[in-house]
């Protein structure tokens, strides 16, 4: 017989996304005359990103605080939002919409905090070339572009992303030379910016150069476009490039169930068809996704679409992001709540990327209630106390 406590826990219904919407069906009035074919075009989406006060006002409207912040940030870390992502705003939630808050700056972003950094991951300190970073013995990151489909307001590289000058081919070649010359480097991340904003030929050159190196076992592409501009994955040439060099590990970023769209599901399917191995890296953001009832359906949806939740990051200590920061304890409470309700496949590592490039640290709820020599008492997933005797 199971206990009453366990029975109550087992009786709790999963929180799931039964259906997802199309961003085309949700598009704002300004784009009502756009055909489905245009909407599904990567080129159209990129060309029509919202990047000015006027464009934002016309499409989604701005309140006074947002308008002031957009203008103030224009020369530092400007706004860029794809029509697809703007269509996911929930007007009924106003400025509290979790999609809107990730995309449009507010006045709090202008505040300077002494404990926040312009380079929170210490990438300049760990640079081995102008566009390459090595923080671990067997890994390196190639920063391939300043461009992104959207400038997320919680961005950790906000001091570089969106810069007007391009990352030069000479700098990329220098990065490749340094990475491929070091036999200790076995795993390389192509990042940015967003590497899927690169021309297909440039992306293929990078991937092919890394795949040709005998000591590199793993090539990863880190992109948020699957959420912010999934139309990119409708490019058959891109999918052919990824298929040609399979397996490529593709790390996505979805932070909220509202990002789980029909277009995003199609993009994930296209990447799977190319033999990509998919993982998601969410960022824990205050007032956006810092609740288990928000993250549970997102993680269930991702796993259903063949993308394993990989990391849940505590928000990095990047200047301009103080209003997004949560306590470590809030994240631990979420992880404790998810354990047992989701299979291990759907539960990410909860990590903090320590400031100044000191690396990732796993954060786990403490399940040990007490210990007396070899005798331990644990709290299990549904809250019962269980005794366990350790070996000598």
Residue range 16-74, pLDDT digits in tens: 998 899 999 999 999 999 999 999 999 999 999 999 999 999 999 999 999 999 999 99
- pLDDT computed for residue 294 by the predictor: 98
Q: What residues act catalytically?
A: 135-136, 139, 148, 152, 155, 157, 316, 353, 360
Topology of the domain covering 127-362: TIM Barrel (3.20.20)
Regions of the chain where pLDDT drops below 50: none
Looking at residue 337, its pLDDT comes to 96
pLDDT in the model for residue 18: 87
Q: What is the pLDDT of residue 122?
A: 94
Measure the CA–CA gap between 118 and 146, rounded to whole angstroms: 16
Which residue ranges does the chain devote to CATH 3.20.20.70?
Answer: 127-362
Predicted local confidence at residue 44, as pLDDT = 98
Question: CB-based contacts of 220: which residues, under 8 Å, 6+ apart?
Answer: 187, 188, 189, 190, 248, 249, 250, 251
pTM of this prediction exceeds 0.85: yes
């Amino acid at each position: 017989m199971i206990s009453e406590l366990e029975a109550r826990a087992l009786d709790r219904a999963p929180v799931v996304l039964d259906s997802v919407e199309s961003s085309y069906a949700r598009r704002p009035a300004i784009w009502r005359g756009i055909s489905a074919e245009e909407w599904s075009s990567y080129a159209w989406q990129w060309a029509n990103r919202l990047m000015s006060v006027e464009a934002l006002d016309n499409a989604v409207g701005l309140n006074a605080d947002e308008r002031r912040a957009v203008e103030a940030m224009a020369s530092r870390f400007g706004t860029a939002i794809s029509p697809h992502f703007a269509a996911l705003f929930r007007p009924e939630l106003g400025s509290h919409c979790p999609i809107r808050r990730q995309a449009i700056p507010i006045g709090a972003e202008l505040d300077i905090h002494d404990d926040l950094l312009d380079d929170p991951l210490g990438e300049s300190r760990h640079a081995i070339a102008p566009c390459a970073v090595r923080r671990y013995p067997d890994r390196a990151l190639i920063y391939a572009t300043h461009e992104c489909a959207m400038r997320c307001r919680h961005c950790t590289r906000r001091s570089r992303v969106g810069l007007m000058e391009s990352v030069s081919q000479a700098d990329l070649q220098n990065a490749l030379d340094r990475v491929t010359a070091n036999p200790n480097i076995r795993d390389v991340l192509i990042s940015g910016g967003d590497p899927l904003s690169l021309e297909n030929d440039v992306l293929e050159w990078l991937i092919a150069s890394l795949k040709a190196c005998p000591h590199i076992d793993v090539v990863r592409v880190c992109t948020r476009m699957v959420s912010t501009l999934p139309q990119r994955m409708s490019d058959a040439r891109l999918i052919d490039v990824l298929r040609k060099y399979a397996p490529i590990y593709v790390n996505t970023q979805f932070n909220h169930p509202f990002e789980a769209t029909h277009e995003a599901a199609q993009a994930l399917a296209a990447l799977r068809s190319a033999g990509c191995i998919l993982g998601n890296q969410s960022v824990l953001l205050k007032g956006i996704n810092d609740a288990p009832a928000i993250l549970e359906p997102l993680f269930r949806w991702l796993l259903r679409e063949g993308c394993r939740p990989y990391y849940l990051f505590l928000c990095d200590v990047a200047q301009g992001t103080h209003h997004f920061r949560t306590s470590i304890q809030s994240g631990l409470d979420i992880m404790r709540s998810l354990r047992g309700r989701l299979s291990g496949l759907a539960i990410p590592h909860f990590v903090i990327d320590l400031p100044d490039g000191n690396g990732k640290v796993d954060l786990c709820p403490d399940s040990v209630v007490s210990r007396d020599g070899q005798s331990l008492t644990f709290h299990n997933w549904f809250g019962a106390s269980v005794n366990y005797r350790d070996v000598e």
